[in-house]
Amino acid sequence: MQQFDILDPKLNVFQSRFLEASAGTGKTFAIEHLVCRLLLESDPPISIQEILAVTFTREAAHEMKTRIRSKLAEVPDRRAREALVNFDEIQIFTIHGFCHRMLSEFAFEARTPVQMTSPEKPDHICEMRQTVEDFFRTGESAFAIDVANLLKRSRYDVDRLVTRIVSAMENEDEPKKFSFPSLPQIQLEHLRADFLTLAPRYKWLKVEAYEGQCEKFVTYLEQKDPSLLFEEKAWFFEKIHEDNAKLRAAPLSSLSLHAPDFFQELQTKLLPPLKIARDADEMIKRIAKECRNRWKVKASRHDHFTFDDLIRKMDAALNIPSFLEKVAAKYKAVIVDEFQDTDPFQWKIFERLFLENHLIYLVGDPKQSIYGFRSADIYTYMQAANALGEEKKAFLDTNFRSSPQLIEALNTLFTQNPDWIALPSLPGALNYHPVKAGRTENQFAEPPIV
């Protein structure tokens, strides 16, 4: 793998590359200078409208635009001035923004509505909020317990609660599934007697605080109404488990109980689903899923699209030759930033459009692939690297953020044990490329004695 120095005038920037950029190695600096060199050194010239840059978030896209504009303003060159004049046409997007732009611009070829609403636009969020607020107003009985508990926990700050639910709708978080089990019946007097016998064995279990729950719990067993389980912050059986037993507690086998296995069943069968049911994050995900389904029904009537919809629509549209040709012809150079966060469907889009006949830079760091919950896939990263070929691989070799001592320690740590960053689904591990320190000062040095 070759070292990549964007400031080296001998570097051929008109060659596709798979660029690995560890944290602190000046990735954004390299990208902004790469765009400038593509604009200034291309022959025939490449215009600013013909360079596509895709990154992971809107904030990162905005920062990239700002830095490229500033860099172009520093260059006393005719092409740089032309790029600044046309800077409003710069093609920097998130993957979803890119899909939305192409599906809208080439709507006839893609067979999509001309007036598509992007899920990245503020009105999209407003409509989601409206859906959540309508949900609260209707008072859906199936979610009454979740709503009541969340309102109570949020101290009835409805606006903040709605914001959290909308965020979960955007992320399309799936709630955990659970169901309450059937439990054997037990007589109230037997439950109370066993509770009084067991209580002294366990920490933080005061009889006077919990004894009244026995009758409520028997009512739950009779009526099988889960809402009754939400009436108490903590139930007595949550304390009755061996991890919570007192140090010198008498053995369970020495106690005389009416239903010796009953409390064990509560621990193994009832407590796990109850924890999921009462978890605030899970409540939000459940409500968000219901609201998202309602919003999608409403959105489908007005040509609104979710993030996943855009990827699916784009993938389908690429099967139409005229659409694929129009999009591919629009760009001459493509830069995909944060490529480690790309999922298989997104890579398929870039691969079909740009891999064969375009200048393409895929920039990322496999060590920072942390968005598995959003379908990011490290194996997609590796597949793309192989698609470009070994001769196209390069890396940034200097860390400008960390102290020399820390860089030396990390290099030693990871080079001595190359299997530390293991790949669960493949033999071997991720390669670690040692980096140099771009700073000279020792931030860990002792301060001078004055």
The amino acid sitting at 135 is F
Average pLDDT over all residues of the chain? 86
Query: What is the pLDDT, as a whole number, of residue 352?
Result: 96
Q: What is the mean pLDDT of residues 298-327?
A: 86
- Is the pLDDT reported for residue 377 higher than 80? no
Q: What are the pLDDT digits (tens) for 80-139?
A: 999 999 999 999 999 999 999 999 899 999 988 766 666 665 567 788 888 898 888 777
β-pair partners for 245: 202
Q: Is the pTM of this model over 0.85?
A: no
pLDDT band at 302 (very low <50, low <70, confident <90, very high): low
Query: What is the pLDDT, as a whole number, of residue 450?
Result: 46
Number of Cβ within a 10 Å radius of residue 162: 20
- Is the pLDDT reported for residue 439 higher than 90? no
Gap between the Cα atoms of 100 and 196, Å rounded: 64
Query: What is the pLDDT, as a whole number, of residue 373?
Result: 46
Q: What is the mean pLDDT of residues 402-416?
A: 88
What's the burial of 240, exposed, middle or buried (CB within 10 Å: 0-12/13-18/19+)? buried
- What string of DSSP letters covers 173-215? PPPPP--PPP-----HHHHHHHHHHHGGGBTT--HHHHTTHHH
- Is the pLDDT reported for residue 144 higher than 50? yes
β-pair partners for 399: 437
**For the chain, which domains are there?**
6-113+306-404 (3.40.50.300), 122-179+280-300 (no CATH), 188-258 (no CATH)
Q: What are the pLDDT digits (tens) for 226-237?
A: 777 877 767 877
Asked if 79 and 39 touch (Cβ cutoff 8 Å), the reply is yes
Q: What are the pLDDT digits (tens) for 260-290?
A: 888 888 888 888 898 898 899 999 999 999 9
Query: What is the pLDDT, as a whole number, of residue 186?
Result: 86
The amino acid sitting at 267 is Q
Query: What is the pLDDT, as a whole number, of residue 177?
Result: 92
Q: Which of 78-92, 344-358, 405-419 bottoms out in mean pLDDT, i.e. has the lowest? A: 405-419
- Percent of residues, the chain, with pLDDT higher than 90: 41
Q: What is the mean pLDDT of residues 443-450?
A: 55
- Is the pLDDT reported for residue 147 higher than 50? yes
- Is the pLDDT reported for residue 399 higher than 60? yes
Cα–Cα nearest to 176, from 98, 280, 73: 280
What's the burial of 372, exposed, middle or buried (CB within 10 Å: 0-12/13-18/19+)? exposed
* Selection from 4-18, 254-268, 394-408, 412-426 with the highest mean pLDDT: 4-18
CA 273 to chain centre: 25
What's the burial of 378, exposed, middle or buried (CB within 10 Å: 0-12/13-18/19+)? buried
β-pair partners for 361: 17, 335
What does each C-alpha distance from 420 to 29, 212, 413, 444 come to in angstroms?
29, 53, 9, 26
